């Protein structure tokens, strides 16, 4: 093991081109900490916002970007008895993922699901925990309910299609191209809506005999009038992000008339505030993974030094599934 490692560092806020690939010295291994040699790092849309200072979490400069990664435990502090050198793990963090190595508290690592590659592990938890927290915990989605997933070919969207099917819902997947919808269908969507050709709310009404959907998950931020018209009386609109680039304002009168609820989804913050809930969600998600019901779709990987290129692919909103950075093999 060398005395330093490579990491993508944000020293000033701005686009990916302002990031730097630097060599950093090894961090000391304090009690309760684990050192992980990272093999893959997941790229998430909030990463693009964090480096521009536009996200809810604003780490102090400089920082290593990245919220999730996967790799092999290199060493653990003497007081750590739950993980040891050689184990394959996923690392959850607010910063530090775009790197060859990280040192984190032991409660931020979890075993890699059986059969998962490092790239799959590095792109599993952020999207799938968001989907599970939104649909199972916040919306209490149940069998035979109708679920609309907007942006259904993105990381959170495909995860929501999988989780929705696992919970027994009828899934209506909406995306902007026929190619994207093919992947949603492959992941189990019951109905497909191309919203570059037809209004989502009109398609949802047609597919639900004018009733509307019990739950609508929106990680994109579509027009508020369209989103609210998708929801049935007493239904729930889940706001999980604004990958579309704009932030809609929701009309209170429309919410009142529908007797519905607009629910904000911040899965990471919810888990930090309620660790017991997060443990339950992780256990449930790992059961679904073991049953083969949930798994990330990684269609593109880039070596660590091509981080800016990979981030721009995600920013273009043309990516299907997940993108990962990789180290070594």
CATH number for 94: 3.90.180.10
Identify whether the C-beta of residue 42 lies closer than 8 Å to the C-beta of residue 97. Answer: yes
The pLDDT, as a whole number, for residue 250 is: 74
Same domain, 143 and 212: yes
Quick one: 74 and 171 in the same domain? no
Domain of 178, CATH number, reads 3.40.50.720
Quote the Cα angle for 67-99-298, to 5°.
60
Collapsing DSSP to helix, strand or coil, 84 comes out as coil
pTM over 0.75: yes
- Reply yes or no: is the peptide bond before residue 222 cis, omega within 30 of 0: no
119 and 132 belong to one structural domain: no
Distance separating alpha carbons of residues 323 and 316, to the nearest angstrom: 13
Burial letters for 157-179: b for 16+ Cβ neighbours within 10 Å, e otherwise?
Answer: bbbbbbbbbbbebbbbbbbbeee
How far is it, in rounded angstroms, from Cα 262 to Cα 260?
7
Name the DSSP letter for residue 18.
G
63 within domain boundaries = yes
Q: What does DSSP say about strands 231-239 and 213-218: parallel, antiparallel, or unpaired?
A: parallel
Task: Give yes or no: residues 148 and 249 share one domain.
Answer: yes
pLDDT of residue 1: 57
Residue-level pLDDT at 245:
56
Residues 29 and 161 in one domain: no
Give the pLDDT score at 191. 97
pLDDT of amino acid 244: 55
Give the chain's residues under pLDDT 70. Answer: 1-2, 222-225, 243-248, 329
pLDDT in tens, 19-67: 999 999 998 899 999 999 999 999 998 999 999 998 888 999 999 999 9
| Domain match, 205 and 119 both | no
Closest CA to 120 of 309, 308, 292: 292
- Domain limit, last residue, from 219, 252, 268: 268
Number of domain units in the chain = 2
Residue 188 has what pLDDT?
A: 94
* Domain identity same for 160 and 253: yes
CB distance 10 to 18 below 8 Å: yes
pLDDT, position 318 = 76
Q: What are phi and psi of 280, to 5 degrees?
A: -65, -45
The answer on 108 and 46 residing in a single domain is yes
Asked if 64 and 114 sit in the same domain, the reply is yes
Residues 262 and 142 in one domain: yes
| 81 lies in the same domain as 147 | no
The verdict on 116 and 132 lying in the same domain is no
Give the Cα separation of 107 and 147 in Å (integer). Answer: 33
Give the domain range for residue 172. 127-268
Tell me whether residue 281 is in a domain.
Answer: no
Q: Is residue 278 part of a domain?
A: no
Domain boundary pick from 249, 268, 287: 268
Q: Is residue 60, in this structure, part of any structural domain at all? A: yes
Return the HEC string of 18-59: HCEEEEEECCCCCCCEEEEEEEEEEECHHHHHHCCCCCCCCC
């Amino acid at each position: 093991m060398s005395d330093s490692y490579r990491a993508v560092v944000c020293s000033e806020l701005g686009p990916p081109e302002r990031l730097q690939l630097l060599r950093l010295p090894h961090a000391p291994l304090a009690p309760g900490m684990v050192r992980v040699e990272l093999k893959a790092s997941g790229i998430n849309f909030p990463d693009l916002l964090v480096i521009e200072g536009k996200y809810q979490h604003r780490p102090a400069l400089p920082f290593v970007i990245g919220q999730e990664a996967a790799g092999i435990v290199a060493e653990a502090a003497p007081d750590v008895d739950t993980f040891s050198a050689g184990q394959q793990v996923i690392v959850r963090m607010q910063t530090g993922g775009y790197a060859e190595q990280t040192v984190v508290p032991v409660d931020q690592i979890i075993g890699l699901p059986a059969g998962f590659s490092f790239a799959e592990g590095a792109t599993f938890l952020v999207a799938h925990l968001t989907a599970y927290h939104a649909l199972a915990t916040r919306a209490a989605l149940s069998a035979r309910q109708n679920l609309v997933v907007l942006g259904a070919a993105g990381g959170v969207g495909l995860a929501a299609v999988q989780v929705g099917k696992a919970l027994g819902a009828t899934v209506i997947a909406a995306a902007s191209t026929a190619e994207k919808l093919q992947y949603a269908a492959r992941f189990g969507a019951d109905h497909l809506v191309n919203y570059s050709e037809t209004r989502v709310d009109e398609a949802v009404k047609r597919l639900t005999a004018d009733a509307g959907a019990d739950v609508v998950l929106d990680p994109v931020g579509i027009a508020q009038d369209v989103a609210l018209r998708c929801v049935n009386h007493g239904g729930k609109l889940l706001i999980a992000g604004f990958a579309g680039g704009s932030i809609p304002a929701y009309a209170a009168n429309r919410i009142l008339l529908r007797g519905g609820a607009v629910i904000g989804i911040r899965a990471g913050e919810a888990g930090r505030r309620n660790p017991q809930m997060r443990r339950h969600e992780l256990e449930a998600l790992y059961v679904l993974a073991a049953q083969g019901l949930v798994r990330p779709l990684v269609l593109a990987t880039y070596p660590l030094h091509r981080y800016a290129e990979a981030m721009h692919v995600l920013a273009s909103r043309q990516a299907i599934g997940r993108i990962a950075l990789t180290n070594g093999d």
